[in-house]
Amino acid sequence: MSPSRREVLLQLAALAALPLPKLTFTATDPLDGTIADYQAGRRRGEWTAAEVAARALERCRQDGARWRAIDALSPTVASDARAADERLRTGRMRGPLDGVPVFAKAIYDMDGLPTTGSSADWARLFPELVRRDALEVSRLRAAGAIVLGKTAADDFAYRGNGTSSHTGQVLNPYDRTGTRTPGGSSAGSAVAVATGMAFAALGTDDGGSNRIPAQFTGVVGMKPTFGLVPRTGVIPTWPYLDTHGPLARSAADAALLLAAIAGPDASDPLALAAAFDGAPFAALRDDALAGVRLGIVEAHVPRGQMAAEAVAFWDRAVGDVRAAGAIADSFQPAVTLATYREAFANAAKARGDVAVDPKSPAPTANALLRYFAGRSADPRAAVRLGYPAFQKFYDVLPGDFAQCEPLLDQPMTDDPAGRSFARSRAEIVRQLAETMRAAGVAAMIYPTMPFNAPRAVDPWPNIRTTLGYGNWLGLPEVSVPAGLGADGMPALNISFVGLPGSDARLLAMAHAYERQSRRFVAPPRS
């Protein structure tokens, strides 16, 4: 349906009110710039990792407390930073992340800190210091990164609002009223990078937990290909949906973090087993969109339900993509947000398979036991102790531990509903790939979400989003800011979405869009 004259006038008025592009990353404080600029300054002797890490901790204790973004700070930051400076001095740097301050989310294990899961109950039940690193944290340390600590999230990464019973409601640093949500569940990670407490942070995403706060705080958030990042040492969620990835202020910084944490590991039975090549993530080209055909999925752009300003931002983002050299045309994929669940069910029915269920209780139960097996001498007793608090959120699990106990030892890969889901996923992705190849489309684009941050206490607008679509299909997606609205809040993010395995190319496209649009604007400090 064509827009009415009034709708057109509203969109034109909104476009006229949009702020002009601003040059990004021109700050004198290295924490407000890019990883590449920070490392260049270290090599020139303008600052040290020890100095910048100390500054990062200062911001965490001031801004982090102000925004309620921090779960815990690591006691080894100063020594880790000094070691990084020594490696630089002696020519033994471990790569582009060496000496770079980063964060992990509260559900990650970290040696020397308790794992609260952002839950007041678990903080009370499990106060002991964990004596291992989650695999991703271990990989970051191996790359030389300085892991500052852990960021606040929704309890057990379950909701999308940034509401922790342990540390309180995470606040949105762009909102002077203190009422609007930063999104979640990776709320603290997004706020930490938006405000320059760290260059990048780890988050997780089962149904938008990286992409929601990326949009609501105006940063880059990524949901990688399902299985690209093993999840060992992290409090589990839904094993057949859960992906872990970066939040950062730029696509290039997100790419460096992803390259460090990705790659096979047998400890996660659902992780991809293929060898991983991190080289394409290290040098993203400014012209990566030149001549590339992108598919605008109109079914994922609900213009009739979007505010005039949101529509204007979306249209401007598409214009920026085209200005960067891309060919962006309307595209109808094999499945859309309106049809993917039915397509999964029909595929299972055609196979004579059991009904699909990505939230089947048995895989989560088994994942919970596997998690505690890595940090407890008696993992079954630990599950029993923490079960009531966890089950309140993951309530597809049986109501009490005795009913759940038979599920603990069932390997997640043997769950009939989960295996049926994985078979349908493979089939639906094949169909999507065929339609993309037939149209010559390298990636799809659409708004990450069709609205900006509501108040934390309010329900979200009744507009269906694409968030679950990406998780069910296991597609990589990079969410990139499209600018601040008239109210000073991040207005919209554009998502670049591709087939599994296209993570590096999507990040390159996002980088090229950034270079053309320059839409990131840091929140005010006052």
Per-residue pLDDT tens digits for 24-58: 334 579 999 999 999 999 999 999 999 999 999 99
pLDDT band with cut points at 50, 70 and 90 for residue 1: very low
* pLDDT tens figures, 280-330: 999 999 999 999 999 999 999 999 999 999 999 999 999 999 999 999 999
Kindly list the domain boundaries of the chain, sorted by start residue: 10-331+441-517, 361-414
**Position 125 confidence tier, pLDDT thresholds 50, 70, 90:** very high
pLDDT over 70 percentage in the chain: 95
Give the DSSP per-residue string, 437-480: HHHT-SEEEEES-SS---BTTSPPPS---SHHHHHHHT--EEEE
Rounded CA-CA distance 461/223 in Å is 23
- CA 431, chain centre distance (Å): 26
Q: Out of 138, 185, 186, 479, pick the active-site residue.
A: 185
In 266-366, the DSSP E strands lie at 293-296, 327-330
pLDDT, residue 526, reads: 67
- Label residue 353 by pLDDT band (50, 70, 90): very high
Q: Above 90 in pLDDT, residue 69? A: yes
The predicted structure's pLDDT at residue 22: 37
- Clarify whether 22 is annotated catalytic: no
User: 18 pLDDT exceeds 50?
Assistant: no
Using CA atoms, how far apart are residues 316 and 305, in angstroms rounded to an integer?
18
| CA 473/CA 107 separation, integer angstroms | 24
pLDDT confidence of 525, banded at 50, 70, 90?
confident
Mean pLDDT, all residues of the chain? 94
Token digits of residue 472: 């069910």
CATH topology of domain 10-331+441-517: Amidase signature (AS) enzymes (3.90.1300)
Reduce the DSSP state of residue 45 to 3 states and report it.
coil
Q: What pLDDT does residue 464 have?
A: 95
Catalytic residue among 74, 118, 189, 209: 209
**Where is average pLDDT lowest: 407-411, 419-423, 515-519?**
515-519
pTM of the model: 0.94
Q: Is 186 a catalytic residue?
A: no
Tokens of 181: 């949500």
* 185 included as an active-site residue: yes
pLDDT of residue 11: 41
